[in-house]
Structure 1
Amino acid sequence: MTGLHERHLAVSPEWLALYYRHPLELTHGEGRHVWDADGNRYLDFFGGILTTMTAHALPEVTKAVAEQAGRIIHSSTLYLNRPMVEMAERIATLSGIPDARVFFTTSGTEANDTALLLATAYRRSNQILAMRNSYHGRSFSTVSITGNQAWSPTSLSPLQTLYVHGGVRSRGPYAELSDERFIQACVADLEDLLGHTRQPAALIAEPVQGVGGFTSPPDGLFAAFREVLDRHGVLWISDEVQTGWGRTGDHFWGWQAHAEHGPPDILTFAKGIGNGMSVGGVVARAEVMNCLDANSISTFGGSPITMAASLANLSYLLEHDLQGNARRVGGLLIERLRGVTAASPAVREVRGRGLMIGIELVKPGTDEADPEAAAAVLEAARASGLLLGKGGGHNTSVLRIAPPLTLTVAEAEEGAAILADALHAAG
């Protein structure tokens, strides 16, 4: 155990998890690579939990941060803030939500917490619909709507949460149905649920479940849900903390795979837009955003320095068509991974879209999750210079792959080869 690891254990909560038997101290990064304190170089396929969206040490972002830091770092929302207004204008346009208003926070948790406040205040209801296997943050309100036991440490909550089928396509009671019948069954479940409860304020859903193991429903499910929700006066909150900004390749926002009836009522975002800076936010039409009748500010949300970073990062992403790169390189990577894992009895499924890919591991010959195998593959991949993530329900048996969106074809091939060897080594 390193001295830094010992110091960490002495002052940190026991529930503050670290990856690896011998945890890494990352000291610097460049592009899609990072280095540890011992000088080892790694290809980063997790991006600080999908947060380093474009690249490590992207010159355009570091320059924007340095220049803004030289002027003023902080002022709060009590003063006019030009970078914040400029960023809000861009996000309002990109969101697809008419007459949009934008409120900045410092994290996805805080963004989802704000969305819940808006929805419950607007609809005058403390009931929330959420998806099974979901994850929405670590605040008191967001753990109470998280449908993933491993990340919800308490059942105490100011909200009444009801869970809906549909977030996991290949497990559960509807797994064997066709996509069309799967959607029909989930819609029927939603209709039945709404017939047995008072009017909920909102449904919150990740278009692709992140911590849940990069699972997703068939395209169109949330459009079908929207018809039911609108009929019952229930808002739709799309949690885009992990799916936003083009990561899925096919779309800029995850909700656009379900776009038949237009954008969500509320959209939340965070992680990648700051490329490592603490940025989150909420977008909603003015009627919903302005429903609060009490004062509110954000001390750190939308700070000049985080907005400068986000503006530079968003400009780079759009100018270099990183959504298109996610589609092209991500498509190649997922097919390569399916090829190298096809003969492995431990791999149940390779799924995902764009540069958001999950590999679900099971005990060979069964459908039982194998978290020990996932941990072993993580260790073996690290030993060969590749960093991965984990997730997938309460068993964390899914390898999560989400590199920066500038990933090259050569790096995708390199990562797939290392992963194939790691799966073999882990046995």
Structure 2
Amino acid sequence: MTGLHERHLAVSPDWLALYYRHPLELTHGEGRHVWDADGNRYLDFFGGILTTMTAHALPEVTKAVSEQAGRIIHSSTLYLNRPMVDLAERVAALSRIPDARVFFTTSGTEANDTALMLATAYRGSNQILAMRNSYHGRSFSAVSVTGNRAWSPTALSPLQTLYVHGGVRHRGPYADLDDAAFIRACVADLEDLLGHTRNPAALIAEPVQGVGGFTAPPDGLYAAFREVLDRHGVLWISDEVQTGWGRTGDHFWGWQAHASSGPPDILTFAKGIGNGMSIGGVVARADVMNCLDANSISTFGGSPVTMAAGLANLSYLLEHDLQSNARRVGGLLIERLRALGARSPAVREVRGRGLMIGVELVRPGTDVADPDAAAAVLEAARAGGLLIGKGGGHDTSVLRIAPPMSLTVAEAEEGASILGDALRAAG
């Protein structure tokens, strides 16, 4: 155990997770690579949990941060803030929500917490619909709408939460149905649930479930849900903390896979927009955002430095069309991983969109999740020079792969090769 690891354990909570038997201290990064304190170089296929969206040490972002820090670092929302207004204007336009208002936070947890407060205040109800296998953050309210037992440390809640089918396509009671029948069954479940509730405020849903193992429903499910929700006056919150900014390749936002429903009433975002800086936020139409009848500010949300980073990062992403790169290079990577999976009895499924890919591991010959295998592959991949993540609603048995969106074809091939070796070594 290293001295830093010992110091970490002495001052940190027991529940603060660390990857690897011998945890890494990452000291610097460049492009799609990072280095540890021992000088080892790794291809980064996790990006600080989908947060390093464009590249490590992106010159445009570091320059923007440095220049803004040289002017003023902090002011709070009590003063006019040009970088915050500039970024809010761009996010509002990109959201496609009509008459949109934007509120910046410091994390996805805080963004979802704010969205829940807006929805419950607007509807006068503390009842929330959420998806099974979901994850929305670590605050008291965000945990209370998280449908993943591994990430829900308490059953106490300020909200009454009811869970809906549909977030996981190939497990559960509707797994054997075709896509159209799956959607009909999930809609019928939602209709039935609403028949037993009084006045739900909102449905909160990730278009692709992140911590849950990169699972997703068939395209169109949330459009079908929206028709039902609208009849009941229930708001739709799309949690885009992991799916936003073009990571799924096919769409700029995850909700657009269900686009016949139009934009959500409330959209939350975080992670990738700051490329490592602490930015989260909520977008909602004006009547929803303005429904609060008390004063509020944010001390750190909308910080001039983080807003400057977000502006530079978003400009880089759009100017270099990283969404198209995620679609093209991600498609190649998924194809390579599916070929590897076909040769490994431990791989149940390779799924994903763009550069958001999950590899689900099971005990060979069964449908039983195998978290030990996932942990072993994580270690073997590290030994081979590749960093990946893990998650899933079934005992953390899914390898999560989400490199920076500037990933090259050569790097995708290299990462797939290392992962193939790791699967064989762990098997």
Aligned residues: 427
TM-fit CA distance, 1:394 = 4.5
Query: Residues 350-369 of structure 1 correspond to what in structure 2 (within 5 A)?
Result: 350-369=350-369
Give the match for residue 102 of structure 2.
102
TM-fit CA distance, 1:153 = 0.4
TM-fit CA distance, 1:13 = 0.1
Partner Cα distance (2:157, 2:421) in 1: 45
Give the match for residue 253 of structure 1.
253
TM-fit CA distance, 1:341 = 1.8
TM-fit CA distance, 1:40 = 0.1
Give the match for residue 418 of structure 2.
418
Q: Deviations over 1:37-91 (max 9, x none)?
A: 0000000000000000000000000000000000000000000000000000000
3-state SS in 1 of match to 2:404? coil
Query: Residues 139-178 of structure 1 correspond to what in structure 2 (within 5 A)?
Result: 139-178=139-178
- Alignment check: 8 A CA contact 1:105 1:111 kept: yes
Aligned AA for 1:137?
G
Give the match for residue 127 of structure 1.
127
Partner Cα distance (1:279, 1:163) in 2: 28
Query: Residues 11-90 of structure 1 correspond to what in structure 2 (within 5 A)?
Result: 11-90=11-90
Query: Residues 383-402 of structure 1 correspond to what in structure 2 (within 5 A)?
Result: 383-402=383-402
Partner Cα distance (2:392, 2:209) in 1: 9
Partner Cα distance (1:116, 1:144) in 2: 11
TM-fit CA distance, 1:263 = 0.2
1:300 pairs with 2:262: no
Partner Cα distance (1:57, 1:151) in 2: 31
Q: Deviations over 1:268-298 (max 9, x none)?
A: 0000000000000000000000000001000
Give the match for residue 93 of structure 2.
93
Q: Deviations over 1:138-197 (max 9, x none)?
A: 000000000000000001111000000000000000000000000000000000000011
3-state SS in 2 of match to 1:375? helix
TM-fit CA distance, 1:226 = 0.1
Q: Deviations over 1:216-265 (max 9, x none)?
A: 00000000000000000100000000000000000000000001021000
In structure 2, the gaps of 5 or more residues are none
In structure 1, the gaps of 5 or more residues are none
Partner Cα distance (1:63, 1:216) in 2: 37
Query: Residues 256-267 of structure 1 correspond to what in structure 2 (within 5 A)?
Result: 256-267=256-267
3-state SS in 1 of match to 2:382? helix
Give the match for residue 283 of structure 1.
283
More deviation, 245-254/333-342: 333-342
TM-fit CA distance, 1:343 = 1.3
- Alignment check: 8 A CA contact 1:149 1:394 kept: no
Query: Residues 322-401 of structure 1 correspond to what in structure 2 (within 5 A)?
Result: 322-401=322-401
Give the match for residue 235 of structure 1.
235
- After the TM superposition, which parts of structure 1 deviate over 2 Å for at least 4 consecutive aligned residues? none
- Alignment check: 8 A CA contact 1:76 1:301 kept: yes
3-state SS in 2 of match to 1:171? coil
Partner Cα distance (1:153, 1:394) in 2: 16
Partner Cα distance (1:394, 1:218) in 2: 20
Partner Cα distance (1:131, 1:148) in 2: 9
Aligned AA for 1:120?
T
- Alignment check: 8 A CA contact 2:341 2:349 kept: no
3-state SS in 1 of match to 2:18? coil
Partner Cα distance (2:290, 2:90) in 1: 19
Partner Cα distance (2:31, 2:355) in 1: 15
TM-fit CA distance, 1:199 = 1.3
Give the match for residue 195 of structure 1.
195
Give the match for residue 5 of structure 2.
5
- Alignment check: 8 A CA contact 1:109 1:139 kept: yes
TM-fit CA distance, 1:96 = 0.4
3-state SS in 1 of match to 2:399? strand
TM-fit CA distance, 1:415 = 0.2
3-state SS in 2 of match to 1:360? strand
Query: Residues 104-119 of structure 1 correspond to what in structure 2 (within 5 A)?
Result: 104-119=104-119
Partner Cα distance (2:91, 2:206) in 1: 19
Q: Deviations over 1:346-369 (max 9, x none)?
A: 000000000000000000011000
Partner Cα distance (1:164, 1:77) in 2: 37
TM-fit CA distance, 1:340 = 1.5
Aligned AA for 2:260?
E
- Alignment check: 8 A CA contact 1:35 1:41 kept: yes
Partner Cα distance (1:369, 1:391) in 2: 11
Aligned AA for 1:113?
D
Partner Cα distance (2:370, 2:360) in 1: 9
TM-fit CA distance, 1:209 = 0.1
Aligned AA for 1:303?
S
Partner Cα distance (2:291, 2:32) in 1: 42
Q: Deviations over 1:94-147 (max 9, x none)?
A: 000000000000000000000000000000000000000000000000000000
Partner Cα distance (2:396, 2:171) in 1: 15
1:221 pairs with 2:217: no
Q: Deviations over 1:363-413 (max 9, x none)?
A: 001100000000000000000100000000150000000000000000000
Partner Cα distance (1:324, 1:93) in 2: 20
TM-score normalized with structure 1 length: 1.00
Partner Cα distance (1:158, 1:385) in 2: 44
Partner Cα distance (1:155, 1:378) in 2: 31
